[in-house]
Amino acid sequence: MASTINLLSADTRLGYVHYTVSNLENQIHFYTQILGLQLHWRDENNAGLGTGKKDLLLFTEDKNARRYNGVTGLYHQAFLLPNRKELARAIKRIMAFNYPQSPTDHTISQTTYLDDPEGNTIELLADTPEEGTWEITDNNFVARDKQGKTKHPSAPLNLPDLFSHLSPNENIMKGIPADTITGHVHLYVNNLDAAMHFYQGVLGFHKQYYYASFKWPISPCPTIMCILLLLIPGKAREPS
């Protein structure tokens, strides 16, 4: 008899992501001053940050910790903002510090990517499902705008259009809003089948996308993306 998989509830949401960092003070400064999160608590070697509600980030300092590229594990944590106005404010705030970022239009979301001082990639995004769709056609990944025309799934973001959501005297230094959540966590894996078995067959995540050429398939519920697994053949490996 085939076993029954108990799938996660559609109400399931991600909690905090716990990072090992080599310089706790620098990380707190970046996430509070440049990104706009709040420091919830801190002790000698640990800290919790968020938006005034539950922690979205935990840091544990290990001064001997080092970052390695080309290994399995975290690609980025994505903070889902409530709307495009808040994304516009966040991008403007980061620009005010002349901090490098990459504003990107994914059609169904608008976003910006940046690395923290220790090389951890952060995504800030707003959902924009009204702007178009993603689909898999003949094993090809296709993004379409709201008129049905195909477009690049990672196009440069139209910043003048985005910034039109802000008033001329908008306070861009206002912090990340309280209803921001961890929208998804994007992972590198080196065995997609094993990862699929664990996240779907063991943990109970729903399968949302499977794009064989690019291979990033998993979502915890049929409507929102909360876990993505990314496989780049020949790049990811187990940490030594």
Q: How far apart are CA 60 and CA 37, in angstroms?
A: 17
Residue 5 lies in a domain: no
CATH code assigned at 58 = 3.10.180.10
- In which domain, by residue range, is 221 found? 70-230
Residues 195 and 214 in one domain: yes
**Side-chain half-sphere of 42: how many Cα atoms within 13 Å?**
10
Is position 9 within any domain?
no
Pair (38, 127) in one structural domain: no
Q: Rounded CA gap, 51 and 81, in Å? A: 11
Q: Domain check: are 49 and 102 in the same one? A: no
Confidence of residue 31 (pLDDT cuts 50, 70, 90): very high
For residue 60, is it within any domain?
yes
The number of domains in the chain is 2
Strand order across the 140-145 sheet: 132-137, 140-145, 150-151
Are both 45 and 162 inside the same structural domain? no
Q: Are residues 150 and 77 in the same domain?
A: yes
Whether the per-residue pLDDT at 97 is higher than 50: the answer is yes
What pLDDT score does 25 carry? Answer: 97
123 belongs to a structural domain: yes
231 closest CA partner among 196, 179, 183: 196
pTM, full prediction: 0.86
C-alpha span between 127 and 124 (Å, rounded) = 10
The per-residue pLDDT for 5 is 66
Query: Is the same domain home to 181 and 62?
Result: no
In this structure, the answer to whether residues 109 and 137 fall within a common structural domain is yes
Q: Is residue 7 part of a domain?
A: no
User: Does some domain include residue 235?
Assistant: no
Range name among 25-29, 64-68, 229-233 with the lowest pLDDT average: 229-233
